[in-house]
Amino acid sequence: MKTRILGKFGPIVSAVGLGCMGMSEFYGKSEYAESRKTLLGALESGVTFLDTADCYANGQNEELLGDILKEWCGDVFVATKFGIVREPGVYERQISGRPEYVQQAAEASLRRLKRDVIDLYYLHRIDVNVPIEETIGAMANLVQQGKVRYIGISEASASTIRRAHSVHPLTAVQSEYSLMTRHIENEVLPVLRELGIGFVAYSPLCRGLLTGQLNQALLEKESDFRKSMPRLQGENLVHNLKLADRLAKIAEQKGVTAAQISLAWVLAKGEDIVPIPGTKRHKYLMDNIEAVTIELSAEEISEIESAVPIKAVLGDRYTEAGMVGVEA
């Protein structure tokens, strides 16, 4: 597994990480045995960067990682997030960046993860009712207490990133980024590069749209939250799958999978970018990992971007409820 530095002064992590959310919620039924196999397979393959959050299945995802990591003696870098407050089984959420909540949330995550320190702690969404300086100040206190090593924020605007970084250095900013979701390229990425902050790309396969594995039947599952997303509904889905088919043809010509060429494209967009494709299936994990071996020429990158133009994707990436706390 190749490695990358997360931010100018941050840690060294695997070039591809693993998003763990779907192992516990949102993408159909949870399967503990398969999730365990996937997590251990990732660690054994050199994936050192695991991403979770306290709101994924109301802490159950953190507990899953905690159970697995008790048995692991090798390197691992765990990122978790706070700030989204949900009732069990309900998607709608409240956002909290209150300083007193920051402390409470971190201590609860540490208990569930069974760890003494959180490697990277993110503010999951932006609380518009609390100045970002106050939230980051509380996160900085966690660093001083030795409970957190590095801090970051998710789905923040360029201006919020600057304000946060002025209080305490941010190691990483996490936002959705893929061939089909490229909004951060205009303002956010330039600011991160100016300030020396790493970028973590979640949903680099666009919720499965770019893998060639997504279809209407899969989305019909009662517990798959993706069927509520505007870009995965009706005519939007039909149109977007046609774009994905174009990419699949390019991948086939190169002798790789659609998922691999999608991840290779993200990796090619900058050494400061670390994608964290999420999966609960071991076979998809192993497929994703191989993306680090794929080299794309400038001509191939241009061909890929022409096949899936920035403005060609139809539909918003979240519902109105899902956009709460999203700035970027």
pLDDT (0 to 100) of residue 256: 97
pLDDT digits (tens, 9 = 90+) for 60-81: 999 999 999 998 989 999 999 9
Sign of CA dihedral 302, 307, 308, 309: positive
Question: Can you spell out the DSSP letters for 275-325?
Answer: E--B-S-HHHHHHHHGGGG----HHHHHHHHHHS-TTT--S-SS-TTTTTT
Indicate if the pLDDT at residue 52 is higher than 90.
yes
Question: Where does the chain show beta strands of DSSP type E?
Answer: 3-5, 12-14, 18-19, 49-51, 77-82, 84-86, 93-95, 118-123, 148-154, 172-176, 198-202, 273-275
The catalytic residue positions are 56
In-domain check, residue 218:
no
pLDDT (0 to 100) of residue 197: 98
Q: Which residue has the tokens 């407050």?
A: 85
Angle ∠(60,64,68) on CA atoms, nearest 5: 165
pLDDT digits (tens, 9 = 90+) for 174-215: 999 999 999 999 999 999 999 999 999 999 999 889 998 877
Total of domains in the chain: 1
pLDDT digits (tens, 9 = 90+) for 21-36: 988 877 767 788 999 9
pLDDT digits (tens, 9 = 90+) for 120-134: 999 999 999 999 999
pLDDT (0 to 100) of residue 61: 94
DSSP H/E element including 68? helix 60-69
3-class secondary structure, 178:
strand
Cα–Cα distance measured from residue 90 to residue 186, given in angstroms and rounded to the nearest whole number: 33
pLDDT (0 to 100) of residue 324: 74
The CA–CA distances, whole Å, from 306 to 180, 235, 250, 252, 260 equal: 12, 21, 11, 16, 18
In-domain check, residue 213:
no
More reliable by pLDDT, 93 or 296: 296
Instruction: Tell me the helices (H) and strands (E) count for the chain, helix number first.
Output: 11, 12
Q: How far is CA 233 from the centre of its chain?
A: 22
In-domain check, residue 243:
no
Sign of CA dihedral 123, 271, 49, 185: positive
Indicate if the pLDDT at residue 223 is higher than 70.
no
Cα–Cα distance measured from residue 282 to residue 289, given in angstroms and rounded to the nearest whole number: 11
Cα–Cα distance measured from residue 158 to residue 48, given in angstroms and rounded to the nearest whole number: 28
pLDDT (0 to 100) of residue 222: 60
In-domain check, residue 158:
yes
3-class secondary structure, 162:
helix
> Which distant-in-sequence residues (6+ apart) come within 8 Å of 102 by Cβ?
82, 135, 138, 139, 141, 142
pLDDT (0 to 100) of residue 326: 86
| Cβ contact 152:174 at 8 Å | yes
Q: Which two tokens stand for residue 48?
A: 């050192």
pTM above 0.85, yes or no: yes
> Mean pLDDT for the chain?
92
Indicate if the pLDDT at residue 14 is higher than 90.
yes
In-domain check, residue 134:
yes
The CA–CA distances, whole Å, from 276 to 31, 114, 118, 145 equal: 20, 22, 18, 28
pLDDT (0 to 100) of residue 90: 61
In-domain check, residue 328:
no
Q: Which residue has the tokens 């590095």?
A: 150
In-domain check, residue 305:
no
Structural domain harbouring 157: 3-207+269-295
Angle ∠(85,88,94) on CA atoms, nearest 5: 20
In-domain check, residue 222:
no
C-alpha closest to that of 2 among 64, 49, 51, 72: 49
What is the domain-level CATH number for residue 9?
3.20.20.100
